[in-house]
């Protein structure tokens, strides 16, 4: 599966060992296989790095400069596409909105190949696929994750199946690479039905569903490593969240830095999570004092969501880890509604435009939601002059295409047989000459 975007093993080296640890029974496993749960007790897994590490990073302009703290054994399996190590820009014009604090924007939306921070995840997950010889992969999302995965699968020449809700098709612009064996299937139903059908499709056809939550969360530790290297004097890290994997991974990254003696726990920035009020299940649970989220807590969502990307099926599973993250780091979670976002969005976009930075708010409003959340917290008395705030620009930037990718199938999950769907997609590929 090697391609021109991989790197020879001699270019990077790793002086620490990596293993998978069950958080419940404490059993450890070789990380060189894909595992979703502990094989002994079905408990949750996490990566553990052992050995010594002096903080030296490679001379690279991507997230793989921190290869030593990424769960990959052989750097020859890296698939980068120049992802990560995004620029941090200062926006002093925004200080008046946050009690004189200074806002910095980390530009994942413009550095990463598909225009969102989900490319970090795709790069590491598909480097893992490269290492583990995984092909015929199945995944689902409301847009950004699946687009990034499709792009990286195409780069490696893998066969992939991306299931996304039909109402999110407006996000699927022609700004990603897609081969004839990278299938995009629109699901004409509510999002909670998409994941179960994708898993059913994978199981019925002997395919590989990706990716385990502990794998995905680890990808966002790379943001912590870069913040530590680029802006160590950071008081707050801010991200708009759907299911909280970013902040969970961010704290994990800092805990690794503390473990290896590279920083003190008191130097870790406070984490601020912002949710859209329409999809604010984690905000409601946290402020209700819940340590876990009951089934059904998410509730029925509006059909016409202000930001559909933030409709996730993972809040129930991820919430205990997010709760622990906020508790451990004295974190904050807030929410904002569409009216609060619309009130400030034009000014925020104009500030970027004056720097020659185009932001596609018609495709993604997450960073605008995050900024509106900062204003809400400021109005509640948070922040002081001189404090430094890093806001992650999650996506989408520089996506100028208005043309939508034609889906390979549109299905009703309650009636579409998964084996028959696979046969239909196979015939579609055959008719194209399997290019």
Q: How confident is the model at residue 435 (pLDDT cuts 50, 70, 90)?
A: low
Q: What pLDDT is stored for residue 398 in this prediction?
A: 59
Least confident among 101-115, 341-355, 356-370: 356-370
What confidence tens digit (pLDDT) does each residue in 27-68 have?
A: 999 999 999 999 999 999 999 999 999 998 889 999 999 999
Please state the separation of Cα 149 from the chain's center in Å: 11
Distances (CA, A) of 36 to 29, 48, 426: 12, 16, 28
The DSSP result for 117-158, as a single string, is THHHHHHHHHHHHHHHT--SEEEE-SSHHHHHHHHHHHHHT-
Tokens 């052992």 locate to 50
pTM of the model: 0.94
Show Cβ contacts of residue 266 under 8 Å, excluding neighbours closer than 6 positions: none
101: left (phi over 0), alpha (psi -120 to 50) or beta: beta
- Reduced to 3 states, what is the DSSP secondary structure of residue 54? coil
Let me know: does 137 contact 210? Beta carbons within 8 Å: yes
What tens digit of pLDDT does each residue of 366-408 get? 999 999 999 999 999 999 999 999 999 998 765 667 789 999 9
pLDDT for the residue numbered 400: 66
DSSP character at residue 163 = E
Rounded Cα distance between 371 and 351, Å, is 13
- How far is 229 from 85, CA to CA, in rounded Å? 10
- CA 339/CA 174 separation, integer angstroms: 30
Alpha-carbon gap, residue 3 to 150, rounded angstroms? 16
pLDDT tens digit sequence for 108-141: 999 999 999 999 999 999 999 999 999 999 999 9
Average pLDDT, the chain: 92
Q: How far apart are alpha carbons 44 and 55 in whole angstroms?
A: 28
**In the predicted structure, residue 270 carries a pLDDT above the cut 80:** yes
Q: What percent of the chain has pLDDT over 90?
A: 82
Q: What is the band of 6 on the pLDDT scale with cuts at 50, 70, 90?
A: very low
**Could you give the 3-state DSSP secondary structure of residue 103?**
strand
- How confident is the model at residue 421, as a pLDDT? 98
- CA 86 vs. chain centroid, Å, equals 15
What are the structural domains, with CATH classification, of the chain? 9-70 (no CATH), 88-113+220-392 (3.40.50.1100), 118-214+401-431 (3.40.50.1100)
């Amino acid at each position: 599966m090697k391609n021109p975007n991989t790197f020879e093993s001699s270019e990077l080296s790793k002086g620490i060992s990596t293993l998978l640890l069950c958080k419940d029974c404490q059993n450890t496993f070789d990380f060189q296989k894909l595992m979703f749960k502990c094989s002994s007790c079905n408990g949750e897994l996490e990566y553990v790095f052992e050995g010594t590490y002096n903080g030296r990073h490679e001379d690279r302009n991507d997230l793989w400069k921190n290869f030593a703290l990424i769960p990959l054994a052989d750097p020859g399996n890296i698939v980068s596409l120049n992802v990560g190590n995004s620029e941090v820009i200062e926006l002093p014009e925004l200080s008046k909105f946050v009690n004189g604090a200074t806002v910095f924007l980390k530009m994942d939306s413009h550095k990463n190949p598909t225009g969102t921070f989900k490319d970090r995840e795709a790069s590491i997950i598909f480097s893992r696929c490269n290492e583990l010889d995984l092909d015929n992969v199945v995944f689902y999302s409301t847009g950004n994750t699946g687009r990034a995965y499709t792009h990286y699968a195409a780069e490696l020449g893998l066969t992939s199946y991306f299931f996304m809700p039909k109402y999110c098709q407006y996000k699927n612009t022609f700004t990603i690479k897609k081969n004839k064996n990278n299938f995009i299937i629109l699901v004409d139903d509510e999002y909670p039905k998409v994941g179960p059908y994708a898993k059913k499709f994978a199981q019925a056809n002997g395919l590989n569903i990706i990716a385990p939550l502990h794998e995905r969360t680890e990808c966002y530790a790379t943001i912590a490593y870069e913040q530590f290297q680029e802006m160590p004097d950071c008081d707050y890290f801010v991200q708009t969240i759907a299911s909280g994997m970013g902040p969970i991974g961010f704290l994990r990254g800092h805990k690794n830095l503390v473990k290896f003696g590279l920083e003190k726990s008191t130097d870790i920035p406070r984490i601020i999570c912002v949710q859209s009020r329409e999809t604010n299940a984690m905000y409601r649970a946290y402020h209700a004092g819940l340590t876990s989220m009951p089934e059904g807590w998410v509730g029925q969502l509006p059909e016409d969501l202000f930001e559909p990307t933030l409709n996730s099926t993972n809040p129930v599973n991820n919430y205990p880890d997010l709760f622990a993250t906020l508790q451990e780091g004295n974190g904050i979670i807030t929410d904002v509604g569409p009216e609060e976002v619309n009130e400030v969005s034009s000014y925020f976009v104009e500030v970027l435009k004056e720097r020659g930075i185009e932001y596609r708010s018609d495709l993604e409003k997450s960073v605008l939601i995050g900024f509106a959340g900062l204003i809400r917290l400021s109005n509640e008395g948070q922040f002081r002059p001189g404090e430094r705030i890093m806001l992650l620009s999650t996506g989408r930037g520089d996506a100028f295409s208005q043309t939508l990718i034609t889906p390979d199938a549109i299905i009703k999950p309650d009636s579409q047989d998964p084996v028959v769907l696979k046969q239909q997609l196979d015939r579609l590929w055959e008719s194209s000459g399997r290019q």
